[in-house]
Amino acid sequence: MLEMIKQPWPWYVAGPLIGLTVPALLILGNKSFGISSSLRHVCAMCVPAKIPFFQYDWKKELWNMFFVLGIFLGGMVAVTFLANTAPVKLNPSLIKELSVYGVTDFSSLIPVDLVSWNKLFTIPGFIMLVGGGFLVGFGARYAGGCTSGHAIMGLATLQWPSLVATICFMIGGFIMANWILPFILML
């Protein structure tokens, strides 16, 4: 049983399980799924200033903080007890393409040549960490939610803005992976 949990699950199993969170949240508690709103809840709890955006009854959304804590703790359990020590299997054409940009160390889940303390203080590392973090935060706020909220909850409840946001997320990911990231890696 433990070996089965350690392996990647096929999309036709994992997808429906993720998708079933939508009706479960709606039926059991009339709640919406999303993660980016949890930052607003933390700020509302911790910032005593009278900022109108944070003036709401955050205690009604406390369940969301437990959900985020569960994600964190689940990740810690997975890393500690369920880690798969086998090397990550990558498509040979991807390995060849990344080697052109100097990315050759695939010894961990994320290529060390892309994300490491040594790379953090380089121009590409700074652009990807700070610039990428800013763009993700700005985009989630501008779109009124994150990819999980729009693509899972919003599409399941047939919301037009979520369809538009999800299409834009996909286009942005395609542009980043195919045009912007190669340019950054050449710096």
Confidence of residue 72 (pLDDT cuts 50, 70, 90): very high
Measured at the CA of 152, the angle between CA 84 and CA 160, to 5 degrees, comes to 155
Q: What is the pLDDT of residues 104-161, one digit of tens each?
A: 988 877 888 888 888 888 888 888 888 888 888 888 888 888 888 888 888 888 999 9
What are the CA-CA distances from residue 181 to residues 4, 175, 184 (Å)?
A: 34, 9, 5
Q: What is the mean pLDDT of the chain?
A: 86
What are the CA-CA distances from residue 44 to residues 27, 41, 50, 57, 162 (Å)?
A: 27, 5, 10, 9, 25
129 close to 120: Cβ distance less than 8 angstroms: yes
Listed by start position, the domains of the chain span 1-83, 116-187
Nearest residue to 184 via CA among 148, 110, 130, 139: 130
Q: What is the pLDDT of residues 73-96, one digit of tens each?
A: 999 998 888 877 777 788 999 999
Model confidence, pTM? 0.75
